[in-house]
Amino acid sequence: MSIAKKNPVRILVSKPGLDGHDVGARVVSMAFRDAGMEVIYTGLHQTPEQIVKSALQEDVNVIGLSILSGAHIPVCTRIMQLLKEKDATDILVVVGGVIPIRDRGQLQRLGINGIFDQNSTFDHMVQFIESQIKKADKTNLRDP
Amino acid sequence: MKPKDTDDAVRYTESKLPLKTFYSPDDLKETDYKRDIADPGVFPYTRGIHPTMYRERLWTIRQYAGFGSGEDANARYKFLLNQGQKGLNVALDLPTQLGYDSDAPQAYGEVGRVGVAIDTLDDMERLFDGIPLDKISAAFTINSTSSIILAMYIAVAEKQGVSQDRIRGTVQNDILKEYLARGTYIFPPGPSIKLACDIIEYCLKNIPRFNAVSISGHMNEAGATGVQTAAYMILNARVHIDDLLKRGFHIDQIAPLIAFFTTSKEHFFESIAIVRASRRLWARLMKDKYKAKEKRSMLYRIGLAADCGNLIGRQPLNNITRIATRALSSILAGAQALALPAYDEAYAIPSEESARISLMMQHILADETGIPDVVDPLGGSYYVESLTNECEKKMNQIIDDIEQRGGMLDLIERGDIQRELAQQLYEEQKNIQAAKKTVIGLNKYALEDEDIARYESQMHEYDASIQERQIKTLNKIKSERNNKEVNALLKELELAFKREENVVPFIIRAVKEYASIGEIVQTIEGLYGRFRPETGV
């Protein structure tokens, strides 16, 4: 059930790279939408450039990446680089999919705010994102 | 005293079919052995497509494998063949599956990761170096670029001295399930079906024992129930059959080239019933609707795999148990080939050790259990025969429903089925997260603070140097080949598309001159563009 919120979180959900298994991203998009977020789902085969461009165009608070192919390090490195270049590092980036534990430290050091996998619940993901936004809002004032 | 059949705690299969407490002869009153079940190898083949099944010939052990370069995969294949694997099941990397060469910007980070990197015929030659194609058959999980991979396979076989008509193997070539579940489509549906049917037509004429299309059940991993997937597979097969009938071929020329592939899921007995029901439904469809005369047209030949989507990354060794139950149901169902994932495929490409465990699982089932000694051991079970009947009935309902709504192709193009499946998966995920559906190790008997990282020490490692190596090889090939000839052949290919001819011979010629996958795909892309569907979310 959709809950209309005053300042809904805007999230871009995307499938970077060539991995074509998109049902997870679609399902998570539905969960975010039902939790009251405004979701833009880009579909498949997005390049990092396209993702960052869409994120800026859509003025999102969060980018959510769904990666199951194992290419998360090169993809995230490129995306974080682009966000830096565009001076858009206030956009939160969360990643879901198949992310080995051993790579999570590296992703966090790149600036990825949250990492989810098949065992993460919808509630956890929503709460995590909302709490991160709240934290960021305290330090970075955005227009309501 | 016989216990009453109570309704207050109804159980359901994964496909939501209701289950009684027990079954008895009463449940099979409408079932006629000769008409509905019959002996193995006898129409409608409910009990198996051959009279002796595994007694005479075991299912093909066909473990899915591939990564890195042609040489890397070649080494793994030789290891698997040495360990008793009978047929190859080639995994290709995403750039190859999506028509990008290893030097394309879109290929960055993906070269040789989830499968072998193939750019030109040279890579295919390395892949099969020392593997005799007159003795070993190879199945390729390739779809949009099936024509190119098939052309390379033919070229390699010819170089080995194996004539086309003796080549055995499969190209998956099922573009419809790509739109539904797997996402490696390139072109829009119309041209993609045309290309897929060109392949079937080519094989029909030149390699009639080749499986030119393996209609697949990946929808199982994208939100569909087992029964839905089986119904969609029948419908998807028919799209190809109908196209080839329009080209003037007879059903008995077409149907023998169609094979099937799907996954066995968590519900043990339903997985078995679905395969038996599919065999019967297909036989009846071919005979009654399509008027097939040849036995070979009526055989629903199926390869099975354990469902990867239900492998769990928590307490992953439990996946061995999960895989074993799927392996058992697959064999009891009478599969022609079996591919088992490894327990670590919940989070990685299989390591050598985990791959070996799954391979040995096949050998143990084959050589130690005695199961292969008797055909269709569950035949006659009141439960299994009843469930088979229910599955066939439900499959037919779904098929009728889809046809009434405009047919599979139409619904796929509109994104309707994809939306429905995503909704179903969403509901299922909510059930799992609310612990309404049990997943051991996840929502029941989970370990607090589980040290998952310890499993990763055994993980297969991606060799990041592969991209550079592939690009170097590709550049070398491009500098050594006859570029004038390649360009001429690509131009001829383009014209063949425009003239709506069968393009496969043109692709074979281009491939033999070492035209790359990217170059060939770009030629086709110039005509039809890359397909960007509605996201429907």
| pLDDT tens per residue, range B336-383 | 999 999 999 888 888 889 999 999 999 999 999 999 999 999 999 999
Whether A101 and B456 lie within 8 Å, measured CB to CB = yes
A1 in contact with chain B, both atoms CB, cutoff 8 A: no
Whether A18 and B110 lie within 8 Å, measured CB to CB = yes
Percent of chain B with pLDDT over 90: 85
Taking CB atoms and an 8 Å cutoff, what residues of chain A touch B348? 70, 98, 100
Residue of B nearest to A43 (CA): B535
Residue of B nearest to A98 (CA): B347
Q: How far is B203 from chain A (nearest CA, A)?
A: 28
Whether B183 and A118 lie within 8 Å, measured CB to CB = no
Residue of A nearest to B535 (CA): A43
Three-state DSSP at B180 gives helix
What average pLDDT does range A94-123 have in this prediction? 93
What average pLDDT does range B456-466 have in this prediction? 85
| Distance (Å, whole) CA B385 – CA A88 | 61
A98 in contact with chain B, both atoms CB, cutoff 8 A: yes
pLDDT at site B536: 57
pLDDT at site B15: 97
| pLDDT tens per residue, range B273-291 | 999 999 999 999 999 999 9
Three-state DSSP at A122 gives helix
Burial of A88 per CB tally in 10 Å (0-12, 13-18, 19+): middle
Percent of chain B with pLDDT over 70: 98
What average pLDDT does range B392-397 have in this prediction? 98
Whether A69 and B183 lie within 8 Å, measured CB to CB = no
Residue of A nearest to B530 (CA): A45
* Positive or negative: CA dihedral B282, B283, B289, B290: positive
Distances (CA, A) of B185 to A20, B379, B425: 9, 39, 22
| pLDDT tens per residue, range B89-136 | 999 999 999 999 999 999 998 999 999 999 999 999 999 999 999 999
Taking CB atoms and an 8 Å cutoff, what residues of chain A touch B426? 26-27, 30-31
Distances (CA, A) of B95 to A60, A79, B195, B216: 30, 20, 19, 21
Q: Could you tell me which of B260, B357, B324 has the C-alpha nearest to residue B45?
A: B260
